[in-house]
Structure formats: C-alpha cells, structure tokens
Amino acid sequence: MLVGQFFREKGYKVSETAQGADGGIDLHLTGSDDKTYLVQCKHWKASKVPVNVVRELYGVMVAEHAAGAFVVTSGQFTDEAQTFANGKNIQLVDGKLLVSSIQGREVLQAKPVISSVASAIQCPVCNSDMVLRTAKRGPNAGNQFYGCVRYPVCRGTKEA
C-alpha cells in the first residue's frame, strides 16, 4: 500500500495484483502516457537484491509488453543488479530513496554527468529535473536519453 501511494504521488494510476501467483508483479501502473509499467516490491533489509530478480522482472516486462518496470526494495541492490538495469527501462528504487521521497526530504544531488538540464522534464521515480545524457555502453550506446539529476541515488530515465 505504501509503495502504491508512492507511485500515485508520482502521477501514476495504480492497481494492486491479487495475492498468489502473479509472476512477481505487485503493482500495475498506468502512466500519463497511458503506457503500462510493472512494479515488484522486495522487503530485503538483511541482504541486497540480486541481479536475478531484476533479470526476471525484465523478462516479465518484455512478455507483457510493458513500457517499463520498477523494483522497489526497503534495502539496497547489488552492483550487478544496478549494472543490468542500466540502459533498460527498469528503475531501481532503494530504501533510502523511497524513505526520503516519502518524508519529502531532499537527498544530496549528484553532479549531472551531462550538462544540459531539461527542467520541463520530470523524473518518473523522484520528480526531480532530468538531464540529457548519451549512453556510453550497452545496446543503446550512442543514443540519447534523459537521466535524473540525482544519479546515482536515483536511476530514473526517459526516452529522448
């Protein structure tokens, strides 16, 4: 319910999946663009969420033709999980970002890697401004996208 409210405040329409075999999906979101986004919640404080969780969600996202997905945890993600999500439309929301957003506190902003701030474009994860970036590696190398100014604390992205 808390995570559902988090996304409602970001402007998404939220529907919770029924208990049981849900393919790992806890919430279905509908964005202002009428596209579907999937959310998987992990209550892991003792260990970091591993890459296989993110890989499996990516497979479900592709199978369901969703525009994107979010993995939300009360803890943290492994470096491998973060690397896998990079360049895909999967946003990783860790406990620190979730709590700071819910409490309305600002987290220290990282310096943008690319200079031009696109203040009219808001991050879908934390509502901060986004900057125009160019992917340096992976299947989207050379392509431009908008990335959150709070990177690496927030890994929100949008297509350019």
Q: Are residues 120 and 146 in the same domain?
A: yes
Asked if 29 contacts 37 with a C-beta cutoff of 8 angstroms, the reply is: yes
Q: Are residues 31 and 90 in the same domain?
A: yes
Q: What are phi and psi of 28, to 5 degrees?
A: -110, 130
User: Residue 17 belongs to what domain range?
Assistant: 1-105
Long-range contacts of 137-145 (CB under 8 A, 24+ apart): 137/87, 138/86, 138/87, 139/87, 140/87
Q: Are residues 98 and 55 in the same domain?
A: yes
pLDDT of residue 19: 55
Q: Are residues 68 and 40 in the same domain?
A: yes
Q: Are residues 11 and 42 in the same domain?
A: yes
Number of domains in the chain: 2
Instruction: Write the CATH number for 95.
Output: 3.40.1350.10
Q: What span, in angstroms and rounded, lies between the C-alpha atoms of 21 and 46?
A: 25
pLDDT of residue 104: 61
DSSP assignment of 43-77 equals: --SSSPBPHHHHHHHHHHHHHTT-SEEEEEESS-B
pLDDT of residue 11: 85
pLDDT of residue 120: 60
Please list the pLDDT of the chain residue by residue as tens digits (160 residues): 778 888 888 889 998 876 544 467 999 999 888 999 999 998 876 678 999 999 999 999 999 999 999 999 888 899 999 999 988 999 998 888 877 776 664 443 333 333 333 346 788 888 777 777 777 777 877 788 888 877 777 888 888 7
